[in-house]
Structure 1
C-alpha cells in the first residue's frame, strides 16, 4: 500500500479538479491510500482509503513562498509536506504555488544527505511520443559543474525507475555537440559527466533536437531549463492556435478537419503535458510532485499516478543509497 498526501486547495481550479482526480485514483488503484488536506466543507467524496484532515489556512498563488511556508503552518500544502517528513506518506502532490512547494520541500521534507541542490524535473514530449526527462527547470537559477553532474545522476535514476527506460541516454544541453563547445560551466560539466560510470553519458545535445529523441535525460542549469521549458510550452500552444485558425478558415478546411480530426487529436495528445503528470523535486528525502497550476483533473490524476510509482519503486531510498553516498 502506497500512502500519498494531497493538497486539495492548490491550483487554479481547486478543489474541484483535485477531488475528481483523487476519486478516480482511489477507484483505479486498490493499493493506494490518500491523506487529503484542505477545507472539509468543500470535500464531497468519501472512500475507505481516504483520510481527510481539515486545514484552516490556504497558500495563495500570490503569497511570497518562504514567508507563506513559515507563517501558514496550518495550510494544506505545509501539512501535506509535513506528513511526508513524519513518514506518514511516501510523497505529496500539489498544484499550488510552485515557489512555496519548493520551499516546503527544502525546509520541511529536507534534502537527501549528500545532495547539494535538488532539481526540478519534468517529462517533455517528443515526436515519437516517448518523451524525455529534463532537469533542472527552475529549482536553481545558478549551478556549478558538480551540480549538473548530480542532476545527471538523479535524472538517470528517475528515467530508469519512474519511466521504465533501461540504460537511459543522458545528455548535456549545449550550443553544439562537440565536447569543447559551450561556456566554462558546460565544458567542466562535460568532463565530469564523461568520467562518471554510474550512468550512460551520450555527450552534448542541442536544443533544436530535444523533441527528436536525442536523449532520454537532458541536463542543464535551472535558468536555461526554465526558459527552454516555457519556450516549448508557448510553441505548443501557438501551433495549436495556428492549426485551429487554419482549419476553421474555410468550408473546405472545415471538411478536411473533420476527416483528420482523429489524427490531429493524436498529435495534440503527444504535446499535452497532462499525459506526463507533474514536475518532481528530485533530491529530497521524500517524493514531492508539483502538478501544473492550470491542471485539469486528468493532469492531476497523472501527477498522483507519478507519485504513486515513485513510492512503489522506492526512488528516494535508491537515491539515498546511490547519489547520496556517491556524493557524501
Structure 2
C-alpha cells in the first residue's frame, strides 16, 4: 500500500501549533506512521519541531503558509480574504493530489466553506455532512450526522446522509450491514415533521440501506443503531447537550469524591478495577469529525483538543485515507442514483 500523506493545518485550534506538533511527535513513534505535510508559519513551526526533536525527521515536511484563519473569523471572510492560510494551503494539497487527507482543528465554519469550494462534493452528493462517532452501550461506536454543516435539510439530503453514514460504518467499523435510524421526537411512524417522514420513506424503500426506523435522543448511546441521521441544527444541539451533561456529571462527581479522603481512596480503587471501561469513554478517543461527501478526506478536530485527542483525529484520517472512504461513498451514491432511474 502506498505511503499515506497527511496535510496538517498546524495553526488551527484554540491551543495553537504546540498541541499539533506534540500529537505528530506521538504518531511518529509508530513504525507505520504517515508522511506529515505540516502547514503553517515557518518561523513558528521550526522552533517547535526542534523542541520535539523532529525537525530532521524524514516523515516531516513543513509547507509555509503566511495567513491564519482565526477562530473568530466569519466563514465568508476566511474564504475570500485568507486564501493563503494554513487551512487553505492544506486543502489545496489535498485537491491537487499531493496529500491523501487533511486534519484541522481550526474554525469549523471556515473549514466547511473552504473544503466545499476547494474540493467540491462527490458526483450526485447534494451536501457534505459533519459526522462523528459516539461510544455506545454495546461496546462499539455509533455514527451521528449531520453535526452542523447543514442547519436545515430536505428529505433527499437526509436520505443521502443515511447512505453515506452506512458506507462509513461499513468501511471504518467493518459492520456488514449497519443499522441506520433517523433521530426523531418519537419512535412511532406518525411522529415527526414531513421532512423526517419522507426521509424515512426513502430509506425504507432503498436496497442499499438497512433502515431500522426512528430513534429518540435517549437512544443516542444505546447501540440500537450504528448510524443516526438528523439535520445539522438538531445534531449540533444534541451533541453539545451530551457534552454539557457529561461535564456536569464529571464535575459533580469530582467535587463529591474530593470532599473526603475515604471517597478519594475508593475512587482510585474503583478506577483501577474499571480502567478499560473508563478508557473507552474518554472524549480523547472520539475526537475528529469527518466531513463526508467531499472529494477527499477532511477531518475536523475539536478546537480545544489535547495532543492525545488531536492524535486520535490523525489516526481517523489515516484510516479513512487507507480505506478510500470518499471513493466507496461515490460508488454507493452512484448505485443509489441508478436505483432511482
Q: TM-score, normalised by structure 2?
A: 0.92
Q: Deviations over 1:49-76 (max 9, x none)?
A: 2211111111100111121122112111
| Residue among 286, 306, 314 paired with 1:276 | 286
The match for 1:34 among 33, 36, 39 is: 36
Q: 2:228 aligns with which of 214, 218, 221?
A: 218
Offset from partner CA, 1:213-262 (integer Å, 9 cap, x none):
11111001111111100001111111111110111122332232232132
Please, which of 104, 124, 137 is the counterpart of residue 127 of structure 1?
Answer: 137
C-alpha deviation, 1:92, in angstroms:
0.3
Q: Does 1:106 align with 2:108?
A: no
Question: 2: distance between equivalents of 1:62 and 1:5?
Answer: 23
Distance in structure 1 (CA, Å) of the matches to 2:76 and 2:297: 20
Matched residues, number: 328
Task: Tell me, yes or no, if the aligned pair for 1:131 and 1:213 is still in contact at 8 Å.
Answer: yes
Pick one of 12, 15, 22 that aligns with 1:13.
15
Give the direction of change, closer, same or farther, for the CA distance of 1:325–1:82 in structure 2 (3 Å limit).
farther
Q: Does residue 294 in structure 1 map to residue 304 in structure 2?
A: yes
Counterparts of residues 1-328 of structure 1 (less than 5 Å): 1-30=3-32, 32-43=34-45, 44=49, 45-46=54-55, 47-263=57-273, 266-324=276-334, 326-327=336-337
Q: Where does the alignment leave 5 or more consecutive residues of structure 2 unmatched?
A: none
On the 8 A contact 2:103/2:317 being kept in 1, the answer is: yes
**Residue by residue, what CA displacement relative to the aligned partner does 1:22-44 show, whole Å, maximum 9, x if unpaired?**
12223315251121101222221
TM-superposed deviation, 1:164: 2.2
SS at match of 1:18: helix
Structure 1 CA distance, aligned partners of 2:217 and 2:31? 37
Distance 1:256 1:31, change over 3 A: closer
For residue 165 of structure 1, report the CA deviation from its aligned partner. Answer: 2.1
TM-score, reference length from structure 1: 0.95
Residue-by-residue CA offset, 1:5-26 (whole Å, 9 max, x unaligned): 1001111112111001112223
> Which SS does the other structure have where 2:221 is aligned?
helix
Gaps of 5+ in 1: none
